[in-house]
A and B are shown apart, each in its own frame.
Chain A
Amino acid sequence: MGLMQTMVPANDADTDAAAAANDGAAALSIEAALLRRAAAGDNAAFARLIGGLLHPALGVAIRILGDSGRAEDAVQEAVAKLWQSAARFDPARGSFAGWWRRILVNSALDSRRRLRPVAALDEVHEIADTAPDPQARAESTELARMVQQAMARLPDRQRAALALFHGDGCDMKEIAAAIGTTPKAVEGLLLRGRAALRESLAHLKEEMQ
């Protein structure tokens, strides 16, 4: 799952904290253990938690918002919400990953609602790609840039669903939990989003066929 792929690497103290908090019930993730310590006043644990969440969160926020400045604001707001509600997190009611994803996506969608409507993406030329071959990397980056531009014309929830599905590797249930809807509705969002993208990217017929 993308959002958690590069999350906090475990060290002995974290593992001990997770084990201590486990009490034989469902395993408590390293992140949840860090959050528990942060809620108890451990500033270093909170900084460590945020350090692990930051880059994946920025990636998701940029995919949804299409703007790095607004993505930074959304992540910052999500971090503030995470801190404010740290003590209320209950691992018995769901995973930390799902909880954090929901906070992040809500912050991004709220940010879009508060600010101007969909803006053209000026920064897409700066997208990096992880493909090893320079030629493949260049093609892939160009394709990603075009998709990102086309995404700017989609409704918020369609873009959020596509960002979580393709960018974060979430399944329908996880996306539904993050954006506050049903898995069936997520399927509809993805179908409509893909249909709109296919139309927007029709000029890429050569690449797409």
Chain B
Amino acid sequence: MTANDGLDHALDAWGKADFSALAGDSAAAARILAHASQLSATPSEPAAPPSAAASRRRPWWWAGGGAVAATLVAALVLGILPHHAPPPASPPPPAATLADADADDSELMSFAMLYTPTSEEEYQL
């Protein structure tokens, strides 16, 4: 028998030895099965797309490029469209002011035209 045969014999014995029969192995197996059972209560990761679909998968910059293109188009459209000028600001309505006590007749006349007495004031008058 050569040294190689001897080594083969030793490795054969090593290969055939039942390592899973180590003490505590059944407990280890039970723990692993319990762990597997816990795992199977959680959803596994979704399936990868099939290979044909994978070849059509978009590159990472696809989404970003699309967003940039959309922004540029929007900017161009906004640049081309005529700007609607805001309507000219109308002058503010004149504030109603009470006539001064020492105002002249014309001012009193204009005050009288603006002033509408209440019914009580009319009665008192």
Contacts and interface: CB of A to CB of B under 8 A. Distances in A.
A59 B32 contact: no
Given A43-B41, A84-B45, A162 B23 contact: no
Interface of A: 2, 38-39, 41, 43, 46-47, 50-51, 54-56, 58-59, 62-63, 68, 71-72, 75-76, 79-80, 83-88, 90, 92, 123, 126-131, 139-141, 143-144, 146-148, 151, 162, 166-167, 169, 194, 197-198, 201, 204-205, 207-209
Contacts of B15: 2, 166-167, 169
Given A2-B15, A143-B14, 15 more contacts: A46-B40, A54-B33, A58-B29, A59-B19, A62-B22, A68-B24, A76-B35, A86-B44, A88-B45, A123-B22, A127-B17, A140-B13, A167-B19, A197-B7, A204-B6
Main secondary structure of the interface of A (DSSP, over half): helix
B18 interface: yes
Nearest to B50: A90
A201 B48 contact: no
Given A68-B28, A83-B40, A162 B22 contact: no
Contacts, number: 160
Contact of B44 (A68, A83, A151, A167): A83
A83 B32 contact: no
Contact of A208 (B7, B18, B21, B43): B7
B74 interface: no
A62 B20 contact: yes
B68 interface: no
B55 to A, nearest CB: 14
A127 B35 contact: no
B85 interface: no
A148 B47 contact: no
A86 to B, nearest CB: 5
A129 to B, nearest CB: 5
A196 B10 CA distance: 14
23 contacts: A50-B36, A58-B29, A68-B22, A68-B23, A72-B28, A76-B35, A83-B36, A83-B44, A86-B45, A87-B46, A90-B51, A123-B22, A126-B22, A130-B18, A131-B16, A143-B13, A144-B13, A144-B16, A151-B14, A167-B19, A169-B15, A208-B10, A209-B6
Contacts of B3: 198, 208-209
Pairs A-B, 4 closest by C-beta atoms: A208-B6, A166-B15, A128-B21, A144-B17
Which residue among B16, B20, B31, B45 has the maximum number of chain A CB atoms within 10 Å of its CB? B20
